[in-house]
Structure 1
């Protein structure tokens, strides 16, 4: 690995661990209002969170994707240790803190098994009522990876098993027709973001994945039976295709296919992943890598407080109403276009490349590997004010790890061939 790549990996790591991470709650927030000690001042007050203001999801507040970030960051710690053994101690310490934050988001509210997006750093307990299957997906991925890492203690593995069973139990209990096939929010109502059945193709594998992880870690055949009862229908739904997919949809679809295939290596997962990966690769090469490669602007645009947003949207229900089932309005406070453009410029290539590298049995060409790593070097991560660094670092470490493994395989084959030669 060349010096520039190692320095850039370290710069992204430092931004994540020293700026995005909040030690009070062991969570990674979405973005920063500054690069100093006041960087989290814009985050919501506990009373605002309790009232579900500006919305019950925490959209636009900086508390939207802590579990998504944590699941990826746990794997970043594992991959970084594999590439750079000299970092093992700090990676283990950070992974352990991330695990504590993930445990907090599963238990802080008293409804064990409901994975909230984030928790307030102000009081260590306030959280928005509505999560999403995306947060649950990365939470499950991160805990599964931590369980199998060299970091986890026997006590932590036992606790992880308890936590994933809580998620599976809540799914079995709440994902019913009467609840619109949804995990119930902290307000006790269904929400489309928590729906696990009768969903889009990229979402159908999430609940089966939760059951499969619960079985894999606990050995309890009950969860395998739950998985078997729903996997065929889920695979039929997952096979549905369309021409355009959002980058989050693509990467999360490929991640769920990857984990399911690792625990249940049936060929359907590979066939579906090949089609999805082809779409992701086309978008990466034709749309999102060129945008990053052609960028000539700066890298530091701090987030504005959502309270000062000059663009607020009142979301409506499908029937035209404005009050949700939870009795709350859904206000979306938008960041400035320049902020969001820079945010997406960096995070989307990382999400798509990570999805490609996780996809079962999908080779990434040497040319695309080099192109992505060159793009990874471009941002100044020390000046980055968003969690876009998380997905980009993940893509770079997955890629570097794959290349290291391939070099080891090639070297072993060389020595084996050399030994057998006359």
Structure 2
């Protein structure tokens, strides 16, 4: 790869190139989206999946429908479906729908409108699967259109609502579609109220593996609760959700808003994951709904600070190792040896002070890792493509011109240099699509 290393020169080039450069970039974005749709979105369900569906094995890359129905993955009981390939369609499709609506609004491109309508159809279909009203499942399997995992999560539920809310707010949704969204979102929020604001498994017997109470005094759960209530009120018009929004927002002298106004943690090790974009999208959704300019500014500053820290922090200290190493930590000698063996072709170790931008510059789709991680090999997508692309998304949503200008050249590099037909990681491709779509939106 031969990346552009000077963002100022790159920006001057874009300015000098004028409309032709913009048109070229837009066409590359559409090409990326088209390839993503062909590879990862099932024509049977109109939902995005975590593994490439148009490869040599076809749908066989996914867990079998009968195993999904039993709550199993690779012979083990795993009712949350991790590793199945069908565990995150609400996450990946919901975020994509949000970004598509933003890109369509900015460009007027019919292609983005068509793909957004398709994503909406997939999310609407998802609402018909469970006998429990308001439950957002992990699935369905594209082979039978009905098998799903019953232990869902806060990310599936919240990003499902974010995507539907954004489509409802767009010029693309018909009156009939808006009515359907009001009904769907209403059912989701009523179920959460019934479970006392807790994300639970389908039958409500226990907290979800990646769910639980939304009432915890933490910035992420504060954002989650307030966003869900704000979106529910905005979509349904039901005053009870506005009353709940004001009540929870004002509880203990506005403690939730105070949590969001605090400085982010910049010193804690392993403070970030490869899935932090979900928190930022919930925060961005809340920012767009919240009428108070003061509160909007609180949310905007939090997004800005997160993007700034992510772009500059040493990756191996700031990010958890689970997302690329498959382990919670590499601190002991044996795990450190494995981690460094995996990283060796990149010319770095876990002691290297490299950032996500440095790791992006090392991405080469033709470079295959050694079989250091339990025999698994990849093209370093988790650390050199997916995570950088996720950080670019957050910078592009920050509304801070300096941050946006810093990442735009790298998004262009990605669009020009990466052969995505060789990338089988659903997360890497989905995150790249999101970055490209938000890159199509002009700076504020």
Structure 2: which 5+ residue stretches go unaligned? 1-19, 314-354
2:90 maps to 67
1:39 maps to 58
2:345 maps to none
1:260 maps to 286
What is the SS of the residue equivalent to 2:442? Answer: helix
Q: Cα distance 1:344–1:183, how it changes in 2: closer, same or farther (>3 A)?
A: same
Q: Cα distance 1:263–1:279, how it changes in 2: closer, same or farther (>3 A)?
A: closer
- Which of 366, 374, 395 is residue 413 of structure 2 equivalent to? 374
Q: Which has the higher contact order (CA 8 A, sep 6+)?
A: 1
Superposition TM-score, scaled by structure 2 size: 0.74
What is the number of equivalent residue pairs in this alignment? 365
2:441 maps to 401
Q: Cα distance 1:382–1:5, how it changes in 2: closer, same or farther (>3 A)?
A: farther
Query: What's the C-alpha RMSD, in Å, of the aligned pairs?
Result: 2.8
Q: Matched residues in 1 for 2:162 and 2:141: separation? A: 23
- 1:32-88 CA-to-partner distances (Å, cap 9, x unmatched) read 26635x432121222211221131111111112211111122134334434554x41
Structure 1: which 5+ residue stretches go unaligned? 302-309, 312-334, 407-422
Q: Matched residues in 2 for 1:80 and 1:289: separation? A: 24
Q: Matched residues in 2 for 1:238 and 1:337: separation? A: 39
- 1:206-230 CA-to-partner distances (Å, cap 9, x unmatched) read 1221111111112111110111121
Query: 2:86 touches 2:138 (CA, 8 Å); kept in 1?
Result: yes
Q: Does 1:288 align with 2:379?
A: no
1:298 maps to 366
Q: Matched residues in 1 for 2:256 and 2:138: separation? A: 25
- 1:350-391 CA-to-partner distances (Å, cap 9, x unmatched) read 222222232366752524432443344332123221232222
2:301 maps to 274
- 1:313-349 CA-to-partner distances (Å, cap 9, x unmatched) read xxxxxxxxxxxxxxxxxxxxxx92425x324422222
- Which of 235, 242, 264 is residue 217 of structure 1 equivalent to? 235
Alignment of 1:1-400 (within 5 A): 1-2=20-21, 4-32=24-52, 35-36=55-56, 38-54=57-73, 55-82=78-105, 84-85=107-108, 87-88=109-110, 90-175=111-196, 181-186=198-203, 188-195=205-212, 196-198=214-216, 200-231=218-249, 232-239=254-261, 241-243=264-266, 244=268, 245-248=271-274, 250-266=276-292, 267-285=294-312, 287-298=355-366, 311=374, 336-338=376-378, 341-359=380-398, 364-387=403-426, 388-400=428-440
Superposition TM-score, scaled by structure 1 size: 0.78
Q: Cα distance 1:369–1:106, how it changes in 2: closer, same or farther (>3 A)?
A: same
Query: 1:30 touches 1:63 (CA, 8 Å); kept in 2?
Result: yes
